Amino acid sequence: IQRCSLLLYVLDMGEEEPWRQLEQLKFELDAYKPGLSSRPSAVIANKMDLEESMGRLVQLKEVLGADAKIIPISGKMGNNLAHLLTQIKHLHEDYVSGHK
């Protein structure tokens, strides 16, 4: 994890408060190495095929703020996976260009 240039947090949008998963993941990263959770990152909102997911996505955006990079997908249905790959590529390019 220390060699990763960017982090992707995969959240289960079937959970009642998916942002709690993000809080726990960041807590665990910082417990391992302080500051690790502040690396460039994006949130992958998975299971968007579930009925309750859209409302939770709206809540997630409110909790994380307008600047958060959130990529909604459905791994099961294959929805938005090409967009996910494009966004990962852009995140990596932004990281590389910022470290030249």
* 12-37 pLDDT per residue, tens: 999 999 999 999 999 999 999 999 99
First to last CA, the chain: 22
| Paired tokens of 76 | 């099961």
pTM over 0.85: yes
Q: Is the pLDDT of residue 100 over 90?
A: no
